Chains A and B, each alone.
Chain A
């Protein structure tokens, strides 16, 4: 399962929507349920799922599903194995 698939699954659960309605470009402006509370829940879910800590800068950069995937992939690559 790719990072994108995993992030999309988290987002589907949080935003109560189906996978086919979420793409890499989905954002708070296109997903009705993606408000500030759900943004926090997405941050917490990503941190828990991938065992990582997001910095304020990274949280701020999470403007689309694609952005989230990019940040997670970047952190996983630099994480000590």
Chain B
């Protein structure tokens, strides 16, 4: 029976539940799950909205053999203007558990490219993952976006950072360092040395319930400092960061009473690779690069107030990378990959000159509402 890809409708929900169950039974991986409801709970398609989610399923008879989502949004490309592009997300195929369906993954990506040629994929867990390899073969450009972290409580970090404890000798060394205080001293010394380079601290930050006109001014003022960014005007930001969402903190950063930037911070969900640590995230941020360090410092203070043990973030723009370093953040190995379709890559040519100015944060892709 042929496989067809079609919009996800309520009549497919039962087949999607069965598809999810087959994936769960075969892999025991709780992350391999497609949204239960045909109408997306987050950013459902609504007339006139600048950002919305669409879901699609690969149907064979009465069964679902694959699925994916598209987050349609407005993007800004310096020197070119505003375009509608989409993030390809939640791509799942029966081929993961049954090789008879090895073709489904290809069908999904190609279908998405037909629906939206300006396509990007974010995250993926590294260049060596099957989806990253598949996108590369399809002519996508792949870029690893730097990872930054700041340790708030070094002793707990050293004990809990399971990802770094993959070898017994390293685990022992980290326990020893935590116990004797040498690890604490080392981490704090490096972070302090980096923070010495920070810019002046003459800024103030306040929590805001929602983004309004002042965010439009900042968007217009700073957008030419990036080569590519998802539009971050007030209307879009109000959709992404709704005023009722108390899990995220929206910050307006000002100098001499004038807004110079904003940030959104929050605490991440528990993740086994961070052990028992509470992990905060600088989810999103915006400012002229000259004010980036002030925004990062304000965001850091705000998230530290939540008593997190570690703060993490990813950012593609190299001047924001410097701001993270100036704020005492260290760089770490990153598996956060940006893949851009050939048509989207074409807009950014010459890529070797624009790549370092791409403004991508944890909020992009499917990072919101809770996957940051």
Instruction: Evaluate contact between A60 and B2: CB separation under 8 angstroms.
Output: yes
Which of B5, B99, B100, B102 gathers the greatest number of chain A CB atoms within 10 Å?
Answer: B102
B10 within 8 A of A: no
Interface string of B85-113 (1 = CB under 8 A from A): 00000000101100110111111011100
Evaluate whether A41 and B137 lie within 8 angstroms (CB atoms) in the complex, with A29-B100, A59-B110 already known. Answer: yes
Instruction: Evaluate contact between A36 and B106: CB separation under 8 angstroms.
Output: yes
A76 within 8 A of B: no
Instruction: Evaluate contact between A28 and B100: CB separation under 8 angstroms.
Output: yes
Alpha-carbon distance A61/B2, docked complex (angstroms): 8
Instruction: Evaluate contact between A40 and B138: CB separation under 8 angstroms.
Output: yes
Interface size range on B against A:
20 to 34
Which B residue sits closest to A39, measured CB to CB? B102
Instruction: Evaluate contact between B3 and A34: CB separation under 8 angstroms.
Output: no
Instruction: Evaluate contact between A36 and B130: CB separation under 8 angstroms.
Output: yes
A43 proximity list for chain B (CB < 8 A): 106
Instruction: Evaluate contact between B110 and A56: CB separation under 8 angstroms.
Output: yes
If over half of B's interface residues share one DSSP class (helix, strand or loop), that class is named, otherwise mixed; here it is: helix
Instruction: Evaluate contact between B95 and A36: CB separation under 8 angstroms.
Output: yes
Instruction: Evaluate contact between A60 and B133: CB separation under 8 angstroms.
Output: no
Instruction: Evaluate contact between B2 and A37: CB separation under 8 angstroms.
Output: no
**Those of A41-78 within 8 Å (CB) of chain B:** 41, 43-44, 56-57, 59-63
Interchain nearest-CB distance for A15 vs B (Å): 12
B134 within 8 A of A: yes
Interchain nearest-CB distance for A18 vs B (Å): 20
Instruction: Evaluate contact between A62 and B130: CB separation under 8 angstroms.
Output: no
Which B residue sits closest to A41, measured CB to CB? B137
B138 proximity list for chain A (CB < 8 A): 40, 44
Instruction: Evaluate contact between B137 and A44: CB separation under 8 angstroms.
Output: yes
Instruction: Evaluate contact between A27 and B100: CB separation under 8 angstroms.
Output: yes
A39 proximity list for chain B (CB < 8 A): 95, 102-103, 105-106
Instruction: Evaluate contact between B137 and A36: CB separation under 8 angstroms.
Output: no
B95 proximity list for chain A (CB < 8 A): 28, 35-36, 39
B137 proximity list for chain A (CB < 8 A): 37, 40-41, 44
Which 4 A-B pairs have CB atoms at the shortest separation, nearest pair first?
A28-B99, A36-B105, A28-B102, A39-B102
Residues in chain B within 8 A of chain A (CB atoms): 2-3, 5, 93, 95-96, 99-100, 102-107, 109-111, 130, 133-134, 137-138
Known contacts A36-B102, A63-B100, then 19 further A-B pairs from the complex at CB < 8 Å, ordered by chain A residue: A29-B99, A29-B100, A35-B102, A35-B130, A36-B93, A36-B95, A37-B137, A38-B102, A39-B102, A39-B103, A40-B105, A40-B134, A40-B137, A56-B107, A56-B110, A56-B111, A57-B2, A59-B106, A59-B107
